Amino acid sequence: MDRDLLRQCLTYHGESLFNTLQCEQTENPDFQAVASDLAKATYERGGTGEGSPLVEQFIARKADILFCPTWKTAIPREEELADEEAAEPYAIMPPAEAFMEVPFEERRAMLYRDLERGDAVVGRINNVREYGFFLTLLCAAGGLKRDMEDLELSALCHIKEIPSTGSHDDPLSYYQIGDLIRAGVKDLDRYQEKITVSLLPSSLCPRLAHIKLGVIAREELPKHYSRGLRVADDTRETYERLLRSCHGYHNPLVVEYLLGRVGVSDERPPSLMRGLQSKHFHEEDFASVIRKKQSASWALKCVRSGVDHFKHGRHVEAMNEYNKALEIDPRNVEALVARGALYANKGGMMKAISDFELGLETCPDHRNAKKYLCQTLVERGKQLQEQEKFVTAEGLYRRALSLDGSYPEAQAALRRITDTIQKSIRLREEAVAKETEKAKSGQTSAEKLRKILKEEKRMKRKRKRSSSSSSSSPSEHPSLSPTSTASSRRRSKKRRRKRGGSDRGSQRHRRRSSRDDGTSRRKRRAGEEEEEEEEYPAPPNTSATFLYRPGFLGSGSGRGEGGGGEDDDDEEEEVVVDDRRICQLYSLSAASEDEGSDHRGGDSSRSNREGRKGKKDREERSFSSDGTGGRRSRRESRRESSSDRSACGAERERGKARRRSNEGRRRRKASTSSLESQRSRKSNVAAERPQACRRSSSVSQGQQPPPPPSSRRTSLDGGRSQSRPGRGPEQRVEGAGGGDGHRAQAASTSNGQGGAARPPPPPAAGGGAGKKELPPNLMDIFNKIAQFEKEKGVGPRK
């Protein structure tokens, strides 16, 4: 108990309170400790008026709260904000004694008692002498709010206390009688009633340091003073009327502001009720805590049902549940881990990693989160490694090891990658020299070839136009002319758009290849050949392109890297977006397929990692092994089913194609580089969907039944077609997609052949496997069709 406070109270209330206190606080050891001390003094009623026994009883009963040292929580915010005067966040009232009419003597005594060194005062100069000037004090400007104008207080400001301006000898010449001066109280002699003030800023106490001293204008007088003047002028003006007229009073936040000013906490509000003492409030009863707990349990419920969905292969529903869980509780570890696992299953390694990391951040000891993160990091690292992003991959391995130092796979991978990095540095150095000399000759020959080809294509396109219209089925014939031309025009437009994309892609390649120019000679040559054939100028030295192919192979996730060298995921993201758009530009069925076959994608990616078995799996692998494989095969199947027309055209072209086959093959082979870029762009499509789509389509190519959840598929279809109202009937769309596909297909076949031709075939050469699956004559037809389509595709550009 605060003894001084209690004594002050007892002095005020007298003996009776002490007696009551002794009755009421007998149980309180704190009071007993101070009671004997307090009992020595005699208390006479010092307070005014008769004391109320009820009040005394109240004080006595609540004494343990009232005089408890912890009761005094307020730390008044004393520093007056500089803008408080101007903004007036609360009603600044004149000093109350202006209304109270306290006797002159008492007020004067009170002022001398309460005024302190360091306070700011405002006064008017009444006399200027050679040693300084005298002020009649008007009011206080900070620290104390008192009415002092009529107290006849005089204060001296010595010449030493006036800051000199330098140019003039006599600083006093600035000041004239009648000037309003704001000054700091320098010294105070309470007995002789002498006040000295200063104009030096150092005279103010630190919290008033912002106040400027010196001459002030009338408008700068403190508000409480000018308001006090108004009260003095108008006797009808009362405190309450003035209070309401102040606009600070109407500030909607005035209570919060003043509470801060007074220093009372509104979060842990004081109360004299015993039941409302803050010690009775338990942290776990607070709304925020309960809500957190509740959210966690609700989220967990969602996660549970999500896991259930996941186990039954309903991945979309599972994802929805996880997302719902995270909406309820954004940092729910279980949900994050479960979603991360789902992402990882779908090949969205980056998303998976970020989920796991976030989960670990919230709960650093989560076993599964740690385990999965390690696995995913290594997996992602391998992907990156295959894309030659060694540095990033290495970082991932290191991160994995930092989580689990004994994770053998990560250790092995790290060892391998350090070797590879060193090797590649060596290779790069070797390759640089060869690169440069090769460049020129390659360029020129490529250009020549291109010119010839273009000539040829133009001719062929004309022929093809007529042939395709004649070859289309008889039922189409009557209405043919308008629709087919329209569709072909649209098709060409689409193709052009895609072309633009691939162009971009190849640019990216160029950028990267210039960086990555250190690779084996063999690879470089292959890349070069590929370059040569594409229609656009591609740099001859994209040696690295070949290297990326394995990237599409091992992971099974097909999350290839479109562009951007080692540097970043940002660019990758950008590409991903790009890809998604392109993907949307493709057919409706492509979109629906990828949604529909989600779970299958997940499975296969896993099996891919483990090494696949069975024919279907092999097939999948072969296609996924080179990025666009899936897409290509889808297109193949589509071509089979949809277009007799183009097949006929292809038949007609066959002879020609055969004639050109020699150079064509070379050309085709070379075209893979630009296709590569195109492919990588496609394959880059954000983790889960396109990849799954590819896989599923490859399945359908093998005459598999369509993916089971067809109802979902249709609904998704609906949404998609709604979003693109301009879309034509499915067939046209497919045709458009096909155009692209043929090119891709050409590439893939040539790829396979090229793979065979090259001394050491790239690991699990994708095209080769694909070829094995198809009858050779069909393959041939495809080749030709592809060739043809490609030429046709080139046409519109000229």
Partner 1 sequence: MEGPSSGAPAARDGPSLLAAGGGSGAETDITREMKTHFRVCRFIMESGVKLGMRSVPVATACELYHRFFECVSLRVYEPYLVAMSCVYLAGKVEEQHLRTRDIINVSHRYFNSASAPLECDREFWELRDSVVQCELLILRQLDFHVSFRHPHKYLLHYLLSVKALVNRHAWTRTPVAETAWALLRDCYHGPMCIHHAPQHIAIATLYLALNSYGVEMPVGEREWWQVLCEDVTKEDINAVISDLLQLYDMEAKCI
Of 308-347, binders to partner 1 (CB under 8 A) are none
Phi, psi of 158 (to 5 degrees): -70, 155
Residue 684: HSE in the Cβ half-sphere, 13 Å Cα cutoff: 30
**Region of 202-210, 259-267, 549-557, 787-795 interacting with partner 1 (CB under 8 A):** 259-267
Q: Can you spell out the DSSP letters for 644-704? A: HHHHHHHHHHHHHHHHHHHHHHHHHHHHHHHHHHHHHHHHTS-THHHHHHHHHHHHHHTTP
| Nearest Cα residue to 329 out of 359, 363, 299 | 299
* Helix, strand, coil % in the chain, rounded to nearest 5: 70, 5, 25
Token match 């904000």: residue? 81
Name the DSSP class of 406: T
Are the C-beta atoms of residues 638 and 785 closer than 8 Å to each other?
no
Q: In whole angstroms, how close is the CB of 728 to partner 1 at the nearest point? A: 46
Handedness of CA 198, 201, 202, 208 (dihedral sign): positive
Q: Which is nearer to partner 1, 295 or 354 (CB)?
A: 295
Should residue 112 be labelled a site residue for partner 1 when binding is judged by CB under 8 A?
no
The Cα-based distances of 648 to 60, 631, 643, 781 in angstroms read 108, 23, 9, 10
Contact with partner 1 (CB under 8 A) among 29, 166, 178, 275? 275
Should residue 412 be labelled a site residue for partner 1 when binding is judged by CB under 8 A?
no
Contact with partner 1 (CB under 8 A) among 27, 169, 240, 610? 240
Should residue 96 be labelled a site residue for partner 1 when binding is judged by CB under 8 A?
yes
Classify the phi-psi angles of 189: left when phi > 0, otherwise alpha if psi is within -120 to 50, otherwise beta. beta
Should residue 281 be labelled a site residue for partner 1 when binding is judged by CB under 8 A?
yes
Q: In whole angstroms, how close is the CB of 95 to partner 1 at the nearest point? A: 5
Give the chain's largest Cα–Cα span: 128
Contact with partner 1 (CB under 8 A) among 73, 126, 176, 402? 73
| Nearest Cα residue to 584 out of 797, 726, 406 | 726
Contact with partner 1 (CB under 8 A) among 239, 580, 702, 721? 239
Site for partner 1 in 126-145 (CB under 8 A): 143-145
Q: Which is nearer to partner 1, 229 or 259 (CB)?
A: 259
**Region of 7-15, 79-87, 594-602, 739-747 interacting with partner 1 (CB under 8 A):** 7-15
Should residue 259 be labelled a site residue for partner 1 when binding is judged by CB under 8 A?
yes
Contact with partner 1 (CB under 8 A) among 8, 164, 173, 473? 8
Contact with partner 1 (CB under 8 A) among 23, 39, 87, 272? 272
Q: Which is nearer to partner 1, 134 or 249 (CB)?
A: 249
Per-residue x/- track, 146-185, partner 1 (CB under 8 A) = x---------------------------------------
Contact with partner 1 (CB under 8 A) among 262, 432, 452, 459? 262
Site for partner 1 in 413-432 (CB under 8 A): none
Residues 420 and 524: their CA atoms lie apart, in Å, by 18
Q: In whole angstroms, how close is the CB of 761 to partner 1 at the nearest point? A: 58
Q: Which is nearer to partner 1, 11 or 16 (CB)?
A: 11
Contact with partner 1 (CB under 8 A) among 12, 398, 651, 796? 12
Are the C-beta atoms of residues 509 and 563 closer than 8 Å to each other?
yes
Q: In whole angstroms, how close is the CB of 191 to partner 1 at the nearest point? A: 18
Element (H, E) at 121: strand 120-129
Are the C-beta atoms of residues 599 and 611 closer than 8 Å to each other?
no
Contact with partner 1 (CB under 8 A) among 23, 194, 269, 497? 269
Contact with partner 1 (CB under 8 A) among 19, 164, 245, 297? 297
Q: Which is nearer to partner 1, 285 or 570 (CB)?
A: 285
C-alpha Rg value of the chain to the nearest Å = 44
CA dihedral 675, 677, 683, 686 (to 10 degrees): -150
Contact with partner 1 (CB under 8 A) among 41, 286, 489, 778? 286
Should residue 72 be labelled a site residue for partner 1 when binding is judged by CB under 8 A?
yes
Residues 463 and 457: their CA atoms lie apart, in Å, by 10
Residues 592 and 526: their CA atoms lie apart, in Å, by 36
Rounded to a whole number of angstroms, the distance between the first and last alpha carbons of the chain is 97
Should residue 205 be labelled a site residue for partner 1 when binding is judged by CB under 8 A?
no
Residues 320 and 339: their CA atoms lie apart, in Å, by 10
Q: In whole angstroms, how close is the CB of 15 to partner 1 at the nearest point? A: 13
CA dihedral 724, 729, 732, 736 (to 10 degrees): 20
Q: In whole angstroms, how close is the CB of 106 to partner 1 at the nearest point? A: 6
Q: In whole angstroms, how close is the CB of 257 to partner 1 at the nearest point? A: 9
Q: Which is nearer to partner 1, 2 or 220 (CB)?
A: 2
Contact with partner 1 (CB under 8 A) among 37, 114, 429, 568? 114
Q: Which is nearer to partner 1, 77 or 758 (CB)?
A: 77
**Region of 109-117, 202-210, 469-477, 736-744 interacting with partner 1 (CB under 8 A):** 109-117
Residues 456 and 748: their CA atoms lie apart, in Å, by 23
Residues 49 and 543: their CA atoms lie apart, in Å, by 103
Are the C-beta atoms of residues 659 and 768 closer than 8 Å to each other?
no
Q: In whole angstroms, how close is the CB of 255 to partner 1 at the nearest point? A: 5
3-state secondary structure 727-772: CCCHHHHHHHHHHHHHHHHHHHHHHHHHHHHCCCCCCCCHHHHHHH
Contact with partner 1 (CB under 8 A) among 27, 42, 44, 103? 103
Should residue 263 be labelled a site residue for partner 1 when binding is judged by CB under 8 A?
yes
Q: Can you spell out the DSSP letters for 486-533? A: HHHHHHHHHHHHHHHHHHHHHHHHHHHHHH---S-HHHHHHHHHHHHH
| Residue 105: Cβ-neighbour burial (10 angstroms; 0-12, 13-18, 19+) | exposed
Site for partner 1 in 215-234 (CB under 8 A): none
Contact with partner 1 (CB under 8 A) among 112, 154, 298, 487? 298
Count, residues near partner 1 per rule CB under 8 A: 84
**Region of 107-115, 377-385, 442-450, 741-749 interacting with partner 1 (CB under 8 A):** 107-115
Site for partner 1 in 27-66 (CB under 8 A): 46-48, 52, 54-55, 57-59, 61-62, 66
Element (H, E) at 137: strand 132-142
Contact with partner 1 (CB under 8 A) among 28, 71, 371, 607? 71
**Region of 71-79, 131-139, 150-158, 165-173 interacting with partner 1 (CB under 8 A):** 71-79
Contact with partner 1 (CB under 8 A) among 1, 10, 139, 344? 10
3-state secondary structure 442-474: HHHHHHHHHHHHHHHHHHHHHHHHHHHHHHCCH
Q: Which is nearer to partner 1, 33 or 100 (CB)?
A: 100
Q: In whole angstroms, how close is the CB of 308 to partner 1 at the nearest point? A: 18
Q: Which is nearer to partner 1, 6 or 352 (CB)?
A: 6
